[in-house]
Amino acid sequence: MTNLEIQGITNILFSCFLFSIVFTIIDQQIIPRFIDGSALFEAREYQSRTYSWPVFVAANVIVESTWMSLASVLAFVSWYYPIGLWKYGDEAFSTSNRASLSFLLVWFALLFASTLSQALAAGIRDTQTAVNIAQLLFSLSLIFCG
């Protein structure tokens, strides 16, 4: 639990920073799996014309979006409530509005991480290069958009 003194606000900001590190874990798990799946797709399914590349990509996006939605609920509950953000509401911005906005930001951040990782894995066939470029682009998006 934090308070609204300088140390408490520092702890809240540090927890937001630590939460942004989750992207590196996500892209290191998604990119190798996507590249292995696309290599398998090109070796078997593409030759037999079982299904096309857009179907493969759509299936991956749907599966990852479903898992990221579940992960966002777990990440939100394990991040938002232990640091005590739920107890500091005011008249202009109630705690339920703050909680729903925080959950949407967590959900969109995880969906963004998943989608960016898959887009880079589809364009770059080398796993280490794709992971490094994904981390660079995410760091640049935090620097310039955050």
pLDDT at 132: 93
pLDDT at 13: 82
Query: Any idea what DSSP says for residue 81?
Result: T
Residue 1 has pLDDT above 60, yes or no: no
Residue 62 has pLDDT above 80, yes or no: yes
DSSP assignment string, 14-56? HHHHHHHTHHHHHHHHHHHHHHHHHHHIIIIIHHHTSS-HHHH
pTM here is 0.84
CA distance to 21, 34, 69, per residue, from 112 (Å): 13, 16, 11
Q: Give mean pLDDT, residues 84-95.
A: 73
Percent of the residues in the chain that have a pLDDT greater than 90, as a whole number: 42
Question: What are the residue boundaries of the structural domains of the chain, listed by start?
Answer: 26-145
What are 8-46's pLDDT values in tens digits?
788 888 888 888 888 888 889 999 999 999 999 988 888
**Confidence label for 126 from pLDDT (cuts 50, 70 and 90):** very high
Rounded-to-integer distance, Cα 123 and Cα 121, Å: 5
